[in-house]
Structure 1
Amino acid sequence: MLSNESKISVIDTITFIYMFFLAFLIVRPEYFLINYLSVGFLIVSVPFLFQLPTFAKSLFLFSYLLQVLWLFLGLFFIQHVNNAEVALVSHAKNVITAIAPAVFINNRKKLLIVLSLVVIAGFFNMLNNIMGGASALTTGERFLMEEEQLSLNNFAHNSFLYIISAISLLFFVEKRVVRVLLLLVIMTGCISLMITGSRQSFVALIGFFVAFFFFKFKDINPRIIFILISSIIIGFFLFNWVLDTFPNSPIVRRFSEGTNEGDDQRLDFFKMAWDLFLDSPIFGYGMDTFRFFSSFVYTHSTYSEILFNGGIVYVLLFASFYFISFHKINNSALPIQDDQSSVIIKSFIISVLVYGLFFLVHTSRLALTLQFMLINYALTQNKKNV
């Protein structure tokens, strides 16, 4: 349990409100409002940043901006400067406005409030999608309320973030009623993903649990073994129930049909990005320039995208941020005082990185903000407030 937690301040309340609307609007046509909200939050929050007693411990988050700096340097060595420059400015804004709210999440209470608000916002979005597209479970056509949501990939990605936020809360909270409600949210999210036909979301969810049990392996005991075996058995029967009950649902059809034209096209994008990288391995080609070499606007994977955008240096900067983050989390007070939180944080981040195989998570506002918040929470803890 926590001791001596700080009170919720005005800037904390503003942070909570901002996070709710970020999570709510991120998949909606009103998405453009986030640009105004994020810049407004940044302006309001700056005076409070330097008053934070934990600000020095949060400085590591700003090292993510080294990637932006490298891409800026690359503008002097690439061909399609105009597109790359506009995309880079937008990306820099997204990174900065993801770091700003994360810095204020420096205790468990604030973290739980933010995760709860993200889950609540996500529940409304996912439930809305189900209400409009439940028939897709039997027709087999991938569904999204296009008049109320942005795109299938964007909706599926952020729904995944809603779900793993709910799963993380399951491990944090102790009240049985709250856990039941979280399970309902998770179930709602999975049904919503079933009608959108998002295979990558389920793969990334599996990645969360694989990472969780991997990190918990050192603490293996009969209870953990029982939970693991029970999860496998329940998962097996649930999987078979879905196959039998919804054989024509988009998600079942996409898994059962194996590879398709879309999968082959994605593989072609990966190969094309690799070949182009070999021609410009140092600086790459800049952000939002893949459209000049392909019929598609991006490579459909975080890792081929950063390789194409900024070359090998960008890849190393990206990888080193997460490597150092995990090192800092392992050496923070969490593994000593609250190892469960440490495991959840690392599992959350790994599942997002797994999703990066299929989507651009390095430019996702919500993914960046949640990761930075979890990392900052770990870095700012000490023996007194864990």
Structure 2
Amino acid sequence: MTLRPSATWRDALLAVVAAGAACVVLLRTDLHAVDPALRDPDLFATAVTAGAGLSGFWWHTHPARWFAASTVAAVVVAAAGHYVGLLPWLVTAALCAVAARHPRRRSLAALATAVAGYTAISAAGIPDNAGDAFLSTVALLVAAWALGDGVRLRRGRVAAELHAARSDAAAARQEAARATTEERLRIARELHDVVAHSMSLIAVHAGVGAHLIHTRPDQAERTLEVIADTSREALAQTRSLLGLLRDDTDSSGQAASSGQAAPLPGAGGLAGLVDAVRGSGIDVTLHVHGEPPVDVPAVELATYRIVQESLTNVVKHAHATTATVRVEHTDTATSIEITDNGTAGTAGTAGGDPAGSGHGLRGLTERAALLGGRLAAGPAPDGGFRVQATLPMPASRVRAVPS
């Protein structure tokens, strides 16, 4: 473990102070007042005592070394008949550091070693290490161990809480990234549905208008009006979707743009959608049963987009002359079916995607799955192509419907 120079100097200063204090107590204490049997301090006892104090340099980096050095010094000085002075306090401080930084099994072994050493000294009749002195020293060691172990447990709890907080923060960041990705995919699907449908109708009507401009100017004018209406609606919806990507909000959190966002289309707009497709020369029949779930806008929007994308592919790829849209709203689900009489095996018929880009049938399937529904597409039994989808209502809405 590498310490900063300031920390190293701090540890060295504490070690010098501890060694000096231990030596002063050893040399200046009136031994006859403590225990007349104690020997006067000599160079050996002074050196060992000073060494125990200097070993305090390890208190932060290697507390076990400090404990071992101070314990050995205390036993040696006491066994030689000298006054231990501050050595028991150094052993106590070292034991506390060991209990705070090492596992409990290791700190208990250190406690047992210290108690065994003092027990042996007391049993041998060493001066100043029997009776009350022995009991007070053992009690001090046990208290120091308990204090250090409590510090270790608290550090462990704090570390666990910090780890949990970091894990929660990482999970929150991942969830935010996932939500951002899903929102971008949702906006991409919406843009695809708006642009693909609008451009397809505009292209078809532009071709019809160019063909009729000289022979049937009234029908050509009607075709141009459809192009204008379709383009305006597409621009409004595109502007609304792109507004979701802007981050320019005012201090109140409201969008800074002064323009009103275009309302999202719903099941109620199917009639206008079908009328626009009819203008491209395809006879589209619409059958709607039940009331649209206006209180569940997600289902309404998905219904509109599924019908829109399916009819777009009929216009672009199916070579069909007729198409039928059936929508049934119930209290528990919305069922959708789009069929056409085009070439069923041709890539890109209703719900298909000729380029294989995944934005056609895959987008419809994802849209239904997001609402807990399902979508199936394929050749119809009587020819042509069929798209079927079921969009369930939220459980809260189903429970709210009286039986």
- TM-score for both structures, normalised by structure 2: 0.22
TM-score normalised according to structure 1 size: 0.23
Between structures 1 and 2, the one with greater helix share: 1
Question: Relative to total residues, which structure has the larger strand share, 1 or 2?
Answer: 2
Task: Specify which structure has the bigger relative contact order, considering alpha-carbon pairs within 8 angstroms and separated by 6 or more residues.
Answer: 1
Instruction: Determine which structure has more spread, i.e. the larger CA radius of gyration.
Output: 2
